[in-house]
Structures are given as C-alpha cells and as structure tokens.
Amino acid sequence: MKRIFRLFPVFLLLSGTSCQTRIPVEEVLLPRPMQIERQRGNLPLKEPLQLSIEAPDTTVARLRHSLPACGLPLDADLRPVHSATPPRPTDNRPTLRLRIADDARLPASEEGYRLTISRRGIELSARGEAGLFYGFQTLRQLHDRYGDRLPALEITDAPRFAYRGLHLDVSRHFFDAEFVKKQLRMMAALKLNRFHWHLTDGAGWRLAIDRYPELTERAAWRQGATWQAWRDGGQRYSRRGDPQASGGYYTKEEIREVVACADSLHITIIPEIEFPSHSEEVLAVYPALSCSGRPGTTGDFCIGSEATFEFLENVLTEVLELFPSAMIHIGGDEAAKTGWATCPKCRERMRREGLTSTDELQSYAIRRIGRFLAEHGRRMIGWDEILDGGLAPGAVVMSWRGEEGGRKAAAAGHDVVMTPGSHCYLDGYQDNPTTEPQAFSGYLPLRKVYAYDPAPASMPGRERVLGVQANLWTEYIPTPEQAEYMLYPRLFALAEVAWSTPEGKDYADFHRRALWLTERARAAGYRTFDLAHEQGERLESLAETDHLARGCRVDYAAPWSEQYAAGGDGALTDGVRGSWSYGTRWQGFLACDVDVTLDLGEIRPLREVTADFIQWYSAWIWLPRRVEISVSDDGQEFRPLATLTNDYPEEAERPAYRAFGWQGSDRGRYIRYRALRNGRPGGWLFTDEIIVR
C-alpha cells in the first residue's frame, strides 16, 4: 500500500473559521460524491472522539503520526483499538472508526470509500489507504463547513477515472519546490492524483543530471527576466552566476522531497523530458546532438546520430532513479523535422531501417525510447504526435490537439489521457481578455471546463480513456501568484470532471460550491481568480443583432479559411456575433484581405456601416492596417464613404476588439467593405458581422 505519512495536514489546507450556515450537503462537497444519503440528526463534536483503527500495523503507525493534525477532536493519547468488530465506547462519547477491509458494500476501486456519520460517531471504510485518504478529504470539507455539528449522512464514493491530472510547465518560467508542494496539497484536497511535471523545454532545463552538468550550468539560465523578454532578445542562454541570468533548476534532493510530498498525498509525479523536439536549450550547450552541429539552429535532435540516444538514455537513467512513476513522459510533439530530410546521418538511418518519411523516422525514435523504458519496467506516455508513423503497443497517448488523437489512439488499442486545448488548457483567458492578466491564447471560462466529458457514451473505445488532465503552460505566467490565478477555480471544475460521473451535472450547483471553495482557498493563502465578480461572455455574442444587411447576399473577392468558416458565405450577415474566443463565430482570412460586397436588394437610406475585428498576437491575428468602405447603386460604380487607419500597435500582445466603421447619411444598394491586412507572412484577419443601419 502507499504511505499515508503526513496524510492529514492537507485537511487543514482549506480550513479556517467554520461556517455554521445550514445548507444541503450536496452544495458543499467538491468534487461531488457518487452517492449521498442524508439521515436525520447531527453529530455534535463537543467531546473528543474515541479512535479505532482496523488496518495493517504499518498503516496504524502512520495514522497515529498524522491524526493530531486532522482537525477533528480526538483522544489525546491516540491509542487505537485493533478489532474486527466495531469498538464499544467506554463511555457515551462518539467514536471515529477507520477501516481497511474487503467489504462487499464498498466500491471496487481502492480509491473509493464509504463514510457514515451518525449520532454515535464516524465510520470511514475503504479497500485501501487511498480510499481512506479521499474519504478524509470529504470529511474535512464537511467539518470545515459545518463546524462542531456534522450532518448525519452516508456517502458512498469512488472516482470515475483512475488518472486525474494537473500539468505544470516550469521551463518557460521556473517555480521553486515549495510552490510545487503547495499545489500538490491543493490537488490532494481536490482528489487529483497525477502531477505531470514539464521539466524541460527550449526555454530552460530544470533538472540536475550528474552526467551532464552543463544542463544546469547553462541550459537552465537565460537572458531576460521573462519568457517574452528572452524570446524578443534573440533566445540567448546564459551561465549560472551571471548577474543578468534568470531561471533555475531543482537539485536531486529537492526532487526527492517533492516526490515524497506527493507520495504522502497519494499523487504520482510523471516527469517529462522533451524528445525529439522542443530541445533548443539542450542543443545550445551540446550542439553536436543536432543535425547541423551548430547551436541556435533547431530544437530537433539528430535521429541519425547514436550520440542522441546515448544522451537521452543516460538522462532517463537518472530520471528513473528519482521518479518511481510507472509512466515517463517523453514529449514527442511539434517536431519540425526539416533538418532530418537533408541530414546525411538521418537519411542513412532511414535507408538502413527501411523508412520512407520523416514521420516514420520520428516513429523509429519514439519506439526506440519506448523500448528502453519498457526494459526498465516503465511505460512511455507522450503527446498525440507520437502516433505519427505508428506507435508501439503499450504506449499511452495524451491527446491535446483536440480529441481526434485520443479517439484514434483508443481505436488502435492504446490507453489515452484526454487533455484537449479547447477545454483543458488553463493558460487561456478565463474572462474578458481586455481586462485579464496577459495569457496565451483562447478563452476558457469555468463553465466550459466544467462542461467537458472526456469519454462520452458515443465515443468508440471509451474504455481506453484512463482519465483527464488540466495543463498550465507558462509563456505568459511569470509569477507564482499569476499561476495560481490561472489555476483556480478552473482546476476545481476539472477535478469534478475527473472524479464525478456526468449524470446530473448542474453548473449552477457547481458554481455555488466553487464560490465557497474559492473563498476558502484565498483564506489559505492561494491567489485565485475573483469568481464572484466574473464578467462573463462578450455581450455582443449573447443575442443576435438585427440590421439592414441581415440575411443579405455577400460576395467574396477572396475566400475565408475553411478552418474558421463561422457558417460560410452567410456568416457576415447572419446576425450572430463572435464571443471572446476567435475560434467561435469569427470568420478568419489567412494571408489575404477581407474584401466583400453586400447586396441590400434595393437602394436604401444608410446611416452606419461597421464591422468588428480582433488582434490576438500569440495566435498571429492582427487588426487591419486600413479599412475602406464604399457604396454603389448599381454594383459597378462605387463612391467612398470612409477610409480608416488602425492605430493599435502591431506588437501589442494584449487582445483587442475594435470596430471599424462609418456613420453619416447616404443611400445605396451595394456596400463594399475592404479590410487590408498588415502584410505579415502567415497573418490572419478575423471579423464577425458587417452591420448596416
């Protein structure tokens, strides 16, 4: 069994002055338990509970060590009674009975539990220590909410998914070990059990490796206090001790401390070592491992070189000594592969192995590392690109590019962890992007996270879905405070998605519970988003807009992108406006101007012609450089109404929503609206509706 050493201090995480308000139990607990039966009466906690523990001796010893911090009033000496039958109180005081048992009434999962509170006391039963642990998380929430008068009830509970995860990127910005342990404590309170630690990436290597000291002497340090400053300054690395250097890394002793902390909280840490791409920091200090042999030219390892595999296997050998996790994450995403096509070593590898494409070359590399891990008793997990070119049996796929990769992997017989960017990337904005702290991309409010179902009934191979994970990437998150702000309360929603069954989901009910837990988290020292004052969705998107051009024909001089069609050729006159997210009802134009002509059907009086556009720097979306609006009676001869220029800086990274329009008095049947792009290669224009009044 896993240890319960230092088990109960996490129960104090969200505790404080107990609230005596009587509210239904269902509106307190988060995540929502599988089954709650409310009984009549209450359990007063005015006297110490008599303790009984029915478990192996090692478990009893650990519980005795931890119980004083659990928050419940207990006998001072904490001497447990070993018994196969319920204890008989020596007086009228209520009891706390803890049991590990093979009981048919208990959930089959070792993480499940049964919690009974009556006037006689509390009984918590489980098949394993993890079940006791999660039962106490529930008991702690009840005690924190109801104080010294617990409601009589019976809860039978077990998780929907075995894998309930949080990912943290510490490469783009480094967060110290104490911060990590703080988040582990919150994870435990939410019944999350997998911490995916993104330890390496181009922005910094964060793990001490004895055999390769330059990784922490140089690859862990860079010029620029933030990821943005480093990026804009030419992505230059530095040395430890340089006064201008920023970054950091974890010593092996710190790693062991964090792993021990996680183990005590029934959390497994899954380390990620990026391969074969996202490795600019490694190749800056060991350039011979790249195809070019020169630093600063690529983030891809040379797959044709045996030195690459020697390096990675040596690194992983030390990683395996530190992390007992059955799974080891090897990245596998976003390899450019351009150097492989011309590299003599890679071409020779392809010839020798009978490979016909760089996708197959990547598959060779992934399979080879997978075999190495299997030989050491571990299992490989990677982002869904590891499917490209074929994947070895036994590998686990983490689906991030939507759900397609997960569905494909499940159909092929692979286990899957669902973490699509649409619902699980907590680096996106959670409220109005023009007022929120700088984030990366997209709009992901609490409601959308909560709505996610990782394994709907209609999904083929849904039994291969191990679980779900929230990801926090930190390009635009330089401080611990902002990291917590982005995590909470959205991680509360993901926790309920991971633990609770989707039947009976009710966002209003969850929102009430999340508000309470947010306040408790703040009282415990976490900086959270202010859910009580959430602005919500862009107002323009909440109701359809009626105007003169609604339903009118639109002729396009250049086509919209099929990726962002927003309804096709009627999207700009259907009365539907876009939300904060550019991926909704915004129509996208890639590397071309917006040049459309509207036919009103007859000559009409005109007072206004306007359209909204977005700038979202991280998604390569810009406001138009110039807008030209003109009108015609016959569709042949057009006269200008307005020419407008954009004054919002192209380099501004905060999202902007701007209207470009004309107001005045005129007449006409045909309206031509031209929005000229700024000319950046690969740039987008996004608009949602051309409004005519």
Which residues are known to be catalytic? 201, 278, 334
Q: Are 48 and 91 in contact (CB under 8 A)?
A: no
Tell me 78's DSSP state: -
Round to whole Å and give the CA distance between 367 and 373.
10
List CB contacts of 181: < 8 A, sequence separation 6 or more.
257, 258, 261
* Residues 344, 351: Cα–Cα separation, whole Å: 10
Task: Using the CB atoms, write b or e for 269-296: b if 16+ within 10 Å.
Answer: bbbbbbbbbbbbbbbbbbeebbbbeeee
Using the structure block, give the residue that is written with the tokens 């894998």.
Answer: 163
SS3 of 543-605: the string is CCCCCCCCCCEEEECCCCCHHHCCCHHHHHHCCCCCCCCCCCCCEEEECCCEEEEEEEEEEEE
Rg (CA), the chain: 29
Looking at residue 119, its amino acid is R
Q: Could you count the other beta carbons within 10 Å of the beta carbon of residue 534? A: 17
3-class SS of residue 657: strand
Evaluated on CA atoms 132, 136, 142, 146, the torsion sign reads: positive
Strand partners, 415: 396
Q: Scanning the structure block, which residue is given the tokens 């509390």?
A: 122
Residue 224 · residue 173 · CB < 8 Å: no
Strand 656-676 versus strand 639-645 pairing type:
unpaired
Helix H segments across 501-550?
A: 507-523
Burial tier of 532 (Cβ tally within 10 Å: 0-12, 13-18, 19+): exposed
Amino acid (one-letter) located at 15: S
d(CA 689, CA 686): 10
156 strand-pairing partners: 35, 114
**Residue 425 structure tokens:** 């990337």
Q: What DSSP designation does 88 have?
A: P
Terminal CA-CA length for the chain: 71
Half-sphere exposure at residue 465, Cβ-oriented, CA atoms within 13 angstroms: 26
- Structure tokens, 279: 């490795």
Give the contacts of 508 (CB within 8 A, at least 6 positions apart): none
- Residues 683/635, Cβ–Cβ less than 8 Å: no
Whole-angstrom Cα distance, residue 569 to residue 591?
A: 18
User: Counting Cβ atoms within 10 Å, is residue 151 exposed (0-12), middle (13-18) or buried (19+)?
Assistant: buried
406, 388, 410: which is closest to 469 by C-alpha? 406
Task: Give the span between the Cα atoms of 37 and 154, in whole angstroms.
Answer: 5
Joined tokens for residue 484: 């917590």
Q: Are 206 and 280 spatial neighbours (Cβ–Cβ below 8 Å)?
A: no
Total Cβ atoms within 10 A of residue 328: 23
Q: Are 497 and 191 within 8 A, CB to CB? A: no
